[in-house]
Amino acid sequence: MTIVPALDLFVAGIVLIVAVWTVAARDTMSAVVGFVAYGLLLALVWVRLGAPDVALTEAAIGSGLAGALLIGAATRLRAGEPSVSTERLGGAGRVLAMTLSAVVAAAVAVVLLSLPDPAPSLASEAAANAGVTSLGNPVTNVLMAFRAMDTMLEKVVLLLALLGVWSMARDHAWGGRPRSCRRADPEGPLVLLARVLPPVGVVLGISVLWVSADHPGGAFQGATILAAMWLLVLMAGLGDVPAAGGRRLRLVLVAGPAVFLTVGLGGLALGAAFLSYPPAWAKPVILVIEFAMVLTVATTLGLLVAGPPERSAER
Amino acid sequence: MSVVLDLITIAAVSAGVVFFLAGTVGLLRFPDTLTRLHALTKADNLGLGLVVLGLLPQVGSLRDGLKMICVWLLVLLAGATVSQLVAQAARRDGPGSDGAAP
């Protein structure tokens, strides 16, 4: 066996081990740490499979952002944890759970193994028509042009998720600000990082969006980096989360889907169909949508991690 | 010339791997939070630094080389900050929690 397949097998094995360890971990926080490590290893697997766009998404969202959300959840649950972890499943319950898991795993395996070979794919068609948008990255082509409808609805789903988080607020805090972070030492390392890193992160986030025209990257990955920079500033206490009822914040939140929808309806009125772009203007139109989207997505992701409003809008 | 460059790469990357290995062993074997952090930061800073140094002769363009150096600098910044924060938390929670020394 040559060295490269051996390394691939090694990484795949570690992914499986970390996955099992994450499920088996008793302590919630340990499970979260396992999940983050699992996501990063999975990103490596995607790179090895030749899907750097998916790898970036997995690392930024599956591991980074979901990790931050889960750490927040684990911290909130910590108070009630001892009482929950002493509840153990009985013998019959365990057998039932194991049987159910085995059946699901077997069903997935059967479906995967009975897929036609070669699998039905639109990849060749997407590659053949890549020229119409003058974008070099086929993944961006699919996300922003061929299947733009899915991407637009994805943004709406993200807004619905934020509404779900906001609706956890108590009545007096409705439209207010999330719980403030613990005051960081103004001379401490976190504040220093929150001052030094954001300029780098903002440039990086925008560049990940910009290069996605021809190279791996994208609006979602760039937005995640921007959201991370915002959260860093918030955690260091250098800024406050805007009140959920604020008009400017709400304008930013609807900007992405609104621009997308406007372009879509424009395509319906002037062009061939909903979300059809004029061929000569495809790239500028896509860029306008992506920049509006990146603003909305970054803000939404940051607010999702910040949590439901707990303080009234007045300071 | 290329043989010399390859030798530099092999030497530096191997040294970097040794630091990663030593840091990992320290992380697993050292008795308390602060000494474990000490081991870990060596792996990050020196290990990754040496790996980047070793890969520099192999890059195709100046841009790629600068990118790798930037990655190392960012890891330095993140590693230093995080280890400070973990050390502060360990100190605040005091001895007894997770075997941390005062």
Query: How many domains in chain A?
Result: 2
- Taking only the tens place, the pLDDT of each residue in A89-147 is 778 888 999 999 999 999 999 998 998 888 788 888 888 877 777 787 888 888 888 88
What pLDDT score was predicted for residue A42?
94
Read off the pLDDT of each residue in A276-284 and give the average, rounded to a whole number.
Answer: 81
pTM of the model: 0.85
Q: Report yes or no on A119 lying in a domain.
A: no
CA distances from A124 to A49, A127, A138 (A): 18, 5, 10
Examine the domain organization and report whether A66 and A139 are in the same domain.
no
Which residue among A188, A190, A193 sits closest to B77, beta carbon to beta carbon?
A: A193
Domain residues for A44?
A: 1-76
Band of residue A182 on the pLDDT scale cut at 50, 70, 90: low
Tell me how far apart the alpha carbons of residues A65 and A231 are, in angstroms, rounded to a whole number: 10
What pLDDT score was predicted for residue A31?
92
Examine the domain organization and report whether A145 and A72 are in the same domain.
no
Examine the domain organization and report whether A166 and A296 are in the same domain.
yes
Q: Report yes or no on A127 lying in a domain.
A: no
The H or E element spanning position A310 is strand A309-311
Which residue among A188, A190, A197 sits closest to B77, beta carbon to beta carbon?
A: A197
Q: Is the pLDDT of residue A73 over 70?
A: yes
Cis, peptide link before residue A284, omega less than 30° from 0: no
Examine the domain organization and report whether A69 and A166 are in the same domain.
no
Which residue, of A26, A61, A76, is where some domain finishes? A76
Q: Report yes or no on A164 lying in a domain.
A: yes
Examine the domain organization and report whether A203 and A287 are in the same domain.
yes
Specify the DSSP class assigned to residue A184: P
Asked if A297 and A155 count as a contact pair (C-beta separation under 8 A), the reply is: yes
Which residue among B77, B84, B88 sits closest to A196, beta carbon to beta carbon?
A: B77
Residue to test with chain B: of A30, A33, A183, A190, most B Cβ within 10 A: A190
Q: Report yes or no on A231 lying in a domain.
A: yes
Q: Is the pLDDT of residue B19 over 60?
A: yes
Q: Is the pLDDT of residue B101 over 50?
A: no
Examine the domain organization and report whether A140 and A68 are in the same domain.
no
Report the chain A residue with the minimal C-alpha distance to residue B83.
Answer: A189
The H or E element spanning position A191 is helix A189-211
Q: Report yes or no on A15 lying in a domain.
A: yes
B81–A200: do the CB atoms touch at under 8 Å?
no
B21 inside 8 A of chain A by CB: no
Examine the domain organization and report whether A64 and A139 are in the same domain.
no
Tell me how far apart the alpha carbons of residues A178 and A306 are, in angstroms, rounded to a whole number: 6
Euclidean distance between the first and final Cα of chain A, in Å? Answer: 65
B14 inside 8 A of chain A by CB: no
- Counting residues of chain A whose pLDDT is more than 90, the rounded percentage is 37
More confident residue, B11 or A138: B11
Tell me how far apart the alpha carbons of residues A87 and A250 are, in angstroms, rounded to a whole number: 43
C-alpha A223, offset from chain centre: 9
The H or E element spanning position A199 is helix A189-211
Specify the DSSP class assigned to residue A244: T
Examine the domain organization and report whether A169 and A299 are in the same domain.
yes
Examine the domain organization and report whether A155 and A238 are in the same domain.
yes
Examine the domain organization and report whether A33 and A139 are in the same domain.
no
Structure ipTM: 0.81
A197 inside 8 A of chain B by CB: yes
Q: Report yes or no on A287 lying in a domain.
A: yes
Band of residue A70 on the pLDDT scale cut at 50, 70, 90: very high
